C-alpha cells in the first residue's frame, strides 16, 4: 500500500494547466478600440493582437448590446484576430478574449467599449401620416441625403421594413436618389394594418454614411373603394369591395384639355377651392370660380368636383378643362364617401397616360415587372410564389 499511496501523492503535485483558474490577460493583448478613453472608430475593423512571443489568442467573441455576434477571423498562429463585418456607429460592444501562455495556462480578458457616433447620418421619414387610407395608398420613404450607389441602396432597402396584416408581398422602388415608394403587386387588402419601421440606425451604409433614427408608421385601410371614370360613356361607376354602389353622370376634359387616362388616388379633399383659367395657361379673365366638394387626384390640378354650370352636358359630352365634373349632390356624396388613397381610374379619354411619379400617386400604372426593376434588392430576382408569401407572413 505504501508505494501506491506515494505514487498517487506524486501525481497530485503536477496540476494540469488547463484546470487552473484563468489569469488576467490584460498585459498580453491589445485591441484597436483601446484609445485611452476615446471611442472606437466604426469605419475601421476591430482588431485584437497578442503581445510578445509567450502568449497566443485562442478565442475571441464580440457582441453588441442586443447579444448579436460580430463575425471575425483568428490567424493560424493565434497572434491576431480581426472582425470581418462592419461595426455599428454609436453602439456598445463587449469583447471577450481567451489566451494561453507558453506553459499552456489560460488567460481571460473582458473589455467593454463604445463606437463613436456617425458624423454623416442618413435620416428616413416615412409617409403618409398615420391614419386610415384607401387601398391605393403607397408607402413612401424620404431620405435626408441622396444615395446613388447600388450597394448602398440595397443596404437601405433591406433595413426598411413594411409588414401588413393580412400579409401581402411588396417591393421598394427608387423614384429618385432620395425617394422610395413601396407597394404590393395589387392594391392593399381592405381593412389591412400596415406597419413601417427602419432597422437602419447605426448601420454603415457606405462612404462614411450611417443610418440615423426613423419614426415608425402605422396605417390602416378601409373598404376597397374604386371609382371608374369612363370618358367615352360619360359615366362614373363607384364600387365598394367590388360591388357597384352608385353610377354618376359626368363630364371630363374637352379636346385640348383631355383628362389623363390611368389609375390615380385621392390626394386631398377640399370642400371649397378657387379655380382660375390662369392656373392652366388661359387668359386671366377666362374663368375664376369657387368650386365645391373637390377631391384632388393630381398635383397639377385634376379634381373630381361639383360643376353645376355643366349639368346639361353631364352624361352626354366632355366640356371641362380636365377635371371630372358632376352635379352638386353627386359631388357632395362622392366627397363624403371617398378617403385619401382611394382609387380613381380614368378610361377612354383622349388624354395622356398618368405618369407613375411626379404628379401624384400614379404608382399603380407601372407594370409589376418594371416596378421590381426599380429595387436595388428585388431587381433580377424571381418574384415570391404564394407558398413563399405564406412562409414570410409576420407571426402573431
Interval 124-139: pLDDT, tens:
999 999 999 999 999 9
| CATH code: domain of residue 327 | 2.40.440.10
Question: pTM for the full model?
Answer: 0.74
What total number of domains does the chain contain?
3
Selecting among 173, 234, 305, 321, the annotated active-site residue is: 305
Residue 32 shares a structural domain with residue 68: yes
Residue span of the structural domain in which 348 resides? 225-361
61 domain-assigned: yes
384 domain-assigned: no
1 domain-assigned: no
Residue 249 shares a structural domain with residue 355: yes
92: left (phi over 0), alpha (psi -120 to 50) or beta: beta
Q: For the chain, 396 residues long, give each residue's pLDDT as a single digit of tens.
A: 333 333 333 344 445 555 568 888 888 888 886 555 678 888 789 999 998 888 899 999 999 998 999 999 999 999 999 999 888 888 899 999 999 988 888 999 998 989 887 678 999 999 999 999 999 999 999 999 999 999 999 999 999 999 999 999 999 999 999 999 999 999 999 999 999 999 999 898 988 899 998 999 999 999 999 999 999 999 999 999 999 999 999 999 999 999 999 999 999 999 999 887 666 666 555 678 899 999 999 999 999 999 999 999 999 999 999 999 999 999 999 999 999 999 999 999 999 999 999 999 999 999 999 999 999 999 877 775 443 433 333 322
Residue 199 shares a structural domain with residue 238: no
Residue-wise DSSP of 84-152: -SPPPTT-EEEEEEEEEETT--EEEEEEEEEBPPPSEEE-EEEES-SEEE-TT--EEEEESS----HHH
6 domain-assigned: no
Final residue before a domain boundary, out of 161, 192, 222:
222
Interval 150-164: pLDDT, tens:
999 999 999 999 999
Strand, coil or helix: 5: helix
Nearest to 237 by CA among 328, 306, 326, 313: 326
Question: Which residue(s) pair with 62 in the sheet?
Answer: 95
317 domain-assigned: yes
| CATH code: domain of residue 58 | 2.60.40.3780
Residue 210 shares a structural domain with residue 232: no
Residue 67 shares a structural domain with residue 150: no
- Please confirm, yes or no, whether 11 is among the known catalytic residues: no
| CATH code: domain of residue 147 | 2.60.40.3710
Selecting among 173, 181, 321, 323, the annotated active-site residue is: 323
Amino acid at each position: 500500500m505504501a508505494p501506491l499511496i506515494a505514487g498517487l501523492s506524486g501525481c497530485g503535485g503536477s496540476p494540469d494547466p488547463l484546470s487552473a483558474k484563468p489569469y488576467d490577460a490584460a498585459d498580453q493583448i491589445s485591441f484597436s478600440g483601446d484609445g485611452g478613453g476615446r471611442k472606437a472608430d466604426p469605419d475601421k475593423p476591430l482588431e485584437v493582437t497578442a503581445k510578445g512571443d509567450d502568449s497566443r489568442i485562442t478565442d475571441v467573441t464580440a457582441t453588441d448590446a442586443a447579444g448579436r455576434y460580430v463575425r471575425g477571423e483568428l490567424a493560424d498562429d493565434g497572434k491576431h484576430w480581426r472582425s470581418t463585418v462592419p461595426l455599428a456607429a454609436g453602439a456598445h460592444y463587449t469583447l471577450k478574449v481567451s489566451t494561453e501562455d507558453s506553459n499552456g495556462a489560460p488567460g481571460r480578458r473582458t473589455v467593454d467599449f463604445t463606437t463613436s457616433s456617425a458624423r454623416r447620418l442618413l435620416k428616413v421619414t416615412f409617409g403618409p401620416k398615420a391614419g386610415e387610407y384607401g387601398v391605393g395608398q403607397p408607402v413612401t420613404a424620404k431620405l435626408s441625403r441622396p444615395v446613388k450607389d447600388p450597394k448602398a441602396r440595397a443596404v437601405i432597402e433591406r433595413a426598411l421594413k413594411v409588414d401588413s396584416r393580412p400579409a401581402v408581398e411588396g417591393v421598394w422602388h427608387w423614384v429618385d436618389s432620395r425617394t422610395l415608394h413601396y407597394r404590393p403587386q395589387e392594391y392593399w387588402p381592405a381593412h389591412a394594418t400596415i406597419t413601417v419601421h427602419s432597422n437602419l440606425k447605426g448601420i454603415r451604409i457606405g462612404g462614411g454614411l450611417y443610418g440615423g433614427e426613423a419614426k415608425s408608421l402605422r396605417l390602416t385601410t378601409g373598404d376597397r373603394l374604386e371609382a371608374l371614370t369612363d370618358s367615352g360613356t360619360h359615366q362614373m361607376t363607384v364600387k365598394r369591395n367590388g360591388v357597384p354602389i352608385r353610377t354618376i353622370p359626368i363630364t371630363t376634359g374637352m379636346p385640348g384639355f383631355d383628362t389623363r387616362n390611368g389609375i390615380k388616388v385621392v390626394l386631398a379633399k377640399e370642400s371649397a377651392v378657387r379655380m382660375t383659367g390662369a392656373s392652366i395657361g388661359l387668359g386671366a379673365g377666362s374663368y375664376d370660380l369657387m368650386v365645391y366638394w373637390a377631391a384632388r387626384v393630381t398635383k397639377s390640378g385634376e379634381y373630381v368636383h361639383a360643376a353645376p354650370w355643366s349639368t346639361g352636358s353631364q352624361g352626354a359630352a366632355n366640356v371641362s378643362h380636365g377635371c371630372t365634373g358632376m352635379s352638386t349632390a353627386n359631388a357632395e356624396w362622392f366627397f363624403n364617401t371617398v378617403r385619401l388613397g382611394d382609387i380613381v381610374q380614368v378610361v377612354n379619354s383622349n388624354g395622356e397616360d398618368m405618369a407613375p411619379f411626379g404628379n401624384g400617386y400614379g404608382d399603380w400604372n407601372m407594370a409589376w415587372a418594371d416596378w421590381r426593376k426599380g429595387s436595388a434588392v428585388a431587381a433580377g430576382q424571381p418574384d415570391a410564389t404564394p407558398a413563399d408569401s405564406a412562409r414570410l407572413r409576420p407571426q402573431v
